Structure 1
Amino acid sequence: MYRFCLLMIIVLSGLLTVPVFASQAQRRTPVVTAVEKAGPAVVNIRTEQIVERHRSPFFGFGGSLFDEFFRGFAAPRSYTTQALGSGVLIDGSGLILTNAHVINRASRIFVALQGRTKEIEAKLVGKDERLDLALVRIPRQGRKAYPFLPLGTSDDLMVGETVIAIGNPLGLGSSITTGVVSGPLRALTLSEDFMAVFIQTDALINPGNSGGPLINLDGKLIGISTAIAKQAQGIGFSIPVDIIRRVLEDLKKYGRVRRSFLGVIPGRTGDRFAAARGYGGVLVTEIVPGSPADKAGLELADVILSLDNVPVETPGELLNILSSYAPGNRLEMTYLRGTKEHRQEIELTAFPTGYALQYASQTFGFTVEERKGRLLVADLVNDGPADRVGMRHGDLVVEVAGEKVKNLDDYVRVMKEQFGRLPVQFLVVRGNQGYYIDLP
């Protein structure tokens, strides 16, 4: 009898335990497994920025005119502001991928790892504001490698596929949202002449989650979350990992993304062209001799329809897609010649420094020279764009397209960035007067 009772107790306890194990197995969904795999590589990023403000002795009375007049009489007051974001470790040595806007203008960058309260100060490795990508590095802590998330792939994403956005906005642990892919590679126009390619999902991305990873159910990195469309409620956008892979080595080696060169001056086809054919495109108005476009056989008046299967409608869209490819990358271009569509593979090259200066001279009608750490107008093309607006020999060029230029290297770099993007704004100083001029 005793043995029988003992046997019954064992059997009943087993029956009661089975549902518990079954319940745990059901709860361990693919999402749980993926987060367990990727979570330790997600970090919190805190930045400090020193801001200086001038304060007039009239405490704001008289408006900005008085403030500007007394700017030189009162010492600026400085204070520190802070911002939070997320990032993801992509190798065991401490290399972290995040958004450029998370660390922009930061004087110091601090990283908090999962499960640790002590912050580690990080150093900026490289960034690209146009792609909204940045690399920072934290030093090794002993011999043990950091947990990291290797790069996956984003070109095989399926509409409806489950994805997970992970962030660490407060340094207290993971912030996780799930959703599905609604657009594997969506070309999003952010302004009239600025377009970028993103993964579109319905996984919500809060501002503090910017820079965190977007992963698939295998726990692989497929994108970096970015909060760019605040007006788009219920929609999340992520930078595809295949774009990141194309420019990662440039960020590591040069601290920036070198601009690739196709060798065409793009123009608009006009509404009539698009209406007649049902689609737009970018008109080839000039081809640089010896450039990739020239070697591929492009001709004047050809119409570029797409790059790597991403349609292009405006010159700005064409140039922004090119900016996501480092020199040496190959891509497929679709273009129209007459009524016949052609496909051609093209290998992009680095932007030639000599051509950047030549392009600037031809487009804006003046040349520059560096003298004693300043950039001066050297020669003017008679009746050219600069001459017509009153620029003179010896004028000081201080800014181009909102970026300060102190030497010829700065000028060349900005010209490569602004290639084909017209008009371009210049800040020119003559004596103690400054002028903003749009050229051409």
Structure 2
Amino acid sequence: MKRKAFLSVATVLLVLVSASGSLASLRRTPVVEAVEKAGPAVVNIRTEQIVQRRGSPFFGFGGSFFEDFFREFAPPRLYTTESLGSGVLIDPGGLILTNAHVISRASKIFVALAGRHREIEAKLVGRDDNLDLALIRIPAPKGRSYPFLRLGRSDDLMIGEPVIAIGNPLGLGSSITTGVVSGPLRALTLDKEFMAVFIQTDALINPGNSGGPLINLEGKVIGINTAIARQAQGIGFAIPADVIRRVLPDLKKYGHLRRSFFGVVPGATGEQFAAARGYGGVLVTEVIPGSPADRAGLELADVILEIDDIPVETPGEFLNILGAYIPGNRVSVRFLRGIESRTADLRLEEFPPGFALRYAADTFGFSLEEWRGKLRVADLARGGPAERVGMRRGDLVIQAAGQEVSSLKDYARVIEETFGRLPLQFLVVRGNQGYYIDLP
């Protein structure tokens, strides 16, 4: 009898131990394992920005009249502001990926490793505002390496595939949200600004998680968390790993991206085209002779539908997709000629020397010269777009496409970055008056 009782108790204990082991194994999910693998490589980024403001010495005294009066005439004062974000180590030597907006206007950048409060000052290696991507570096002590994550692939993502967004916004530890890939790679327009190609996910991406990695269940980086669609709940976006891998060489070597020359001027197809076919596209309004597009056989009035299997609906999307490539990359283009669907493969190039300035002069109807640290209108095409809106020789061009330009090199860079985005806005100064014009 005692033997049977002993066996019964032993059996119960064995079942309880077995059940406990089963519960422990259920808790240790693929998500837990991926986070354990990735967490040590996710860092907190704190930046300091020096801003200039006019302050009143009578702030809080004398009412708004004195405050407003002295604020207008008081000398400017310098203030230091801070912002926080996340990043991810991608090599053992201290190279970190984050968003360009996380370190925007930073006078100093500090990094705190996971689980540590001590900050390390970082140096900017490269950035691209169009992709919202930045590369920074922290020094590695001699004989020591940092934990890091490898870039995975984003071209084989499946809709519904589990993903994990990780950040370190406060330097206190990981902030983790989970979700799935909810949309294919796509070019997007958010807040009336053209955006580049993104992975769409329903994993919540908090502002402080921006710059952190989006990982798969293998713990590999498939994207860098970046944009939240403010007009939609529960949608987040990440810069795809394949895009990052393409542009990293330029960020490392040049500190910026060289703009790719495709060789067409894109235009809108119009609502009738989209309504008749159920999709949009980009109309080829000009093919630059001798360009990659010309050599690949594209012609005037072709309609570009896809680049590397990514649908192209508008000229802005077309240009931003190209912004995710650098010279030397190859792309596949699907286009319509009449009703026939065709494909072409081409190798992107750098803009030919002098092309940007020649294109700008032909398109906008004026040419510039450097004068006393500024750009001055040197010549106008008779009856051209610039002359028709009242531009004159001797006018100063201060901005192009919202960017300050003070040299022909600056101007050429802006033309390359915005090539095909028409109209382009210029800030022109004549005497002590300034005005904006859109050309052509």
Task: Give 3-state SS (helix, strand or coil) of 2:383's partner.
Answer: coil
In the TM superposition, what is the alpha-carbon distance from 1:297 to its structure 2 partner?
A: 0.8
The answer for the alignment partner of 2:249 in structure 1 is 249
Mean Cα deviation higher: 176-185 or 214-223: 176-185
SS in 2 for 1:328: coil
2:66 & 2:188 partners in 1: Cα distance?
44
The 3-state SS of whatever aligns with 1:37 is helix
C-alpha displacement of 1:190 = 2.1
Q: Secondary structure at the match of 1:313?
A: coil
> Which amino acid in the other structure matches residue 378 of structure 2?
A
Q: TM-score, normalised by structure 1?
A: 0.93
SS at match of 1:117: coil
Q: Which whole-Å CA distance do the structure 1 matches of 2:219 and 2:111 have between them?
A: 22
Offset at 1:411? 0.8
Q: Structure 2 vs 1, CA of residues 10 and 57 (structure 1 numbering), >3 Å: closer, same or farther?
A: closer
Give the AA of the match of 1:156.
D
SS class of match (2:228): coil
Partner of 1:24: 24
Contact 1:193–1:316 (CA under 8 A) maintained in structure 2: no
Shift of 1:180: 1.1
**For residue 390 of structure 2, what is the amino acid of its counterpart?**
G
Secondary structure at the aligned position of 1:217 is classed as: coil
Report how far residue 274 of structure 1 moved.
Answer: 2.1
Looking at structure 2, the residues matched to 272 and 113 of structure 1 have their Cα atoms a distance apart, in angstroms, of 54
**What is the aligned partner in structure 2 of residue 437 from structure 1?**
437
**Which amino acid is 1:332 matched to?**
S
**1:230-250 deviations in Å (ceiling 9; x for gaps):** 222111111111111111111
Distance apart, 1:129 and its partner CA: 0.9
Is the Cα–Cα contact under 8 Å of residues 130 and 195 in structure 2 kept in the other structure? no
Answer yes or no: is the 8 Å Cα contact 2:365–2:384 preserved in 1. Answer: yes
Structure 1 partner of 2:98: 98
What is the rounded CA distance, in whole Å, between the counterparts of 2:342 and 2:283 in structure 1?
A: 15
> Which has the larger displacement, 123-132 or 193-202?
193-202
- Give the counterpart letter for 1:182 in structure 2: S
Following superposition, the deviation at residue 11 of structure 1 comes to: 7.8
Residue in 2 that maps onto 1:175 = 175
Counterpart for residue 207 of structure 2:
207
CA distance in 1, matches of 2:360, 2:187: 29
List runs of 5+ in structure 1 lacking aligned partners. none
SS of alignment partner, residue 153 of structure 1: coil
Show the counterpart of 1:38: 38
Provide the aligned C-alpha RMSD in A.
2.5
Q: Deviations over 1:119-163 (max 9, x none)?
A: 011111111111111111111123211100010001111111111
Q: Shift in Å at residue 41 of structure 1? A: 0.4
The one-letter code sitting in structure 2 at the alignment partner of 1:352 is: P
Give 3-state SS (helix, strand or coil) of 1:275's partner: helix
More displaced 10-residue stretch of structure 1: 360-369 or 13-22:
13-22
Q: Deviations over 1:163-183 (max 9, x none)?
A: 100000000000001111111
Matched with 2:404 is 404
Task: Pick which of 115-124 and 187-196 moved more.
Answer: 187-196
**Partner amino acid for 1:334?**
R
Q: How many residues align?
A: 436
Shift of 1:58: 9.8
The structural deviation recorded for 1:278 is: 2.7
Structure 2 matches for 1:369-380, cutoff 5 A?
A: 369-380=369-380
Q: Which string of whole-angstrom CA distances, capped at 9 and with x for unpartnered residues, describes residues 23-47 of structure 1?
A: 2222111001000111100000111
Q: State the Cα distance separating 1:392 from its structure 2 match.
A: 1.9
Q: Is the 8 A contact 1:397 1:427 kept in 2?
A: yes
Distance 1:62 1:158, change over 3 A: same
Check conservation: 1:193, 1:314, Cα contact below 8 A: no
Aligned to 1:288: 288
Give the partner amino acid of 2:298. Answer: L
Report the secondary structure of 2:409's partner residue. helix
> Is residue 2:415 matched to residue 1:421?
no
Spell out, residue by residue over 1:404-439, the C-alpha distance to the aligned partner (whole angstroms, 9 max, x if none): 112111111111111111121111222222222222
Residue 16 of structure 1: CA displacement?
Answer: 4.6
Question: Once the 2 structures are TM-superposed, how far is the Cα of residue 19 of structure 1 from its aligned partner?
Answer: 3.2
Deviates more, 1:76-85 or 1:9-18: 9-18
- Cα shift at 1:95: 0.7
2:56–2:67 Cα contact (<8 Å) kept: no
> Match for residue 346 of structure 2?
346
Give the letter for the 1:337 counterpart.
R
